[in-house]
Structure 1
Amino acid sequence: MSEELKERLNELVAQCGTDRRAVKHIQRIKGYAPTHSAIFKARTSGTGTDYVIASYVADLQSSLDIPAPTSWQAPDWCEGLSERTAMCLSYFALYESKKEIKMDMARLGESHFLNIRNFGLRSLAELTEWLK
């Protein structure tokens, strides 16, 4: 497997947050997706052909490149967050609940959230306060 593809896959999965969230991103584009363990194995142990890894990379990039919608309603669980922060968490990072965010915050730490598209220090401060 090409090291460049493996590195790119790791970068994109980091932007998604986790392997499971990467699966959600591919499902958003294709309607179906590989398992999270297939993505994990491809990026850590290099299993899979270059073609398969390139497909993962292309699909993740396509999902991450989707522009923000012009009219968007934050889900109910985002109540209390600014529209920008809510959009970063639920539309770009595909979080589905406050509980899921709390688990990632505890497991991965605050810096993990800075990889999310358009998520900056102000959103991180807002999120930290919101989770208290």
Structure 2
Amino acid sequence: MAKSASLGHWCLVWALLAWGSTGTAAEPYPWELLKDRDFSKAYTAMLGPHIRQPWLAQLNGPANPVEHIQLGPERKDLIRFEACRPHQCDTDYITVLYFRKHRRAYARLVLPSGVFMLGRPPGTLAELLAKP
């Protein structure tokens, strides 16, 4: 039995190595973006006083991996993600857009006290932030 378990283990390791060598890399999660100095600076400035909420400051709640979006005829590269407060995802969540080239962040923050558009997103971006 030890031999078959060992063989299964090596098959799994080989499969993971083969999959990892295809050049596809997983997109980072929002909390990993905070390690990027440019993103962190833009995100913190955009949040303003909301930065005092730990789940927003650390982005440590449930979240999807970030996605890259090409916007408009200029094909501007945006990063988009959603995150929420642990155990309160139905009432406390944020959708963020980040222009890496321009180092600008925009967000739609939903809290029990209201909906806040942060960073003054222009009309097109405000519409994009409001989409599920």
- What interval of TM-score do these two structures reach, taking the shorter chain for normalisation? under 0.3
Normalising by structure 1, report the TM-score. 0.26
Quick check: which one's helix share is greater?
Answer: 1
Normalising by structure 2, report the TM-score. 0.26
Quick check: which one's strand share is greater?
Answer: 2
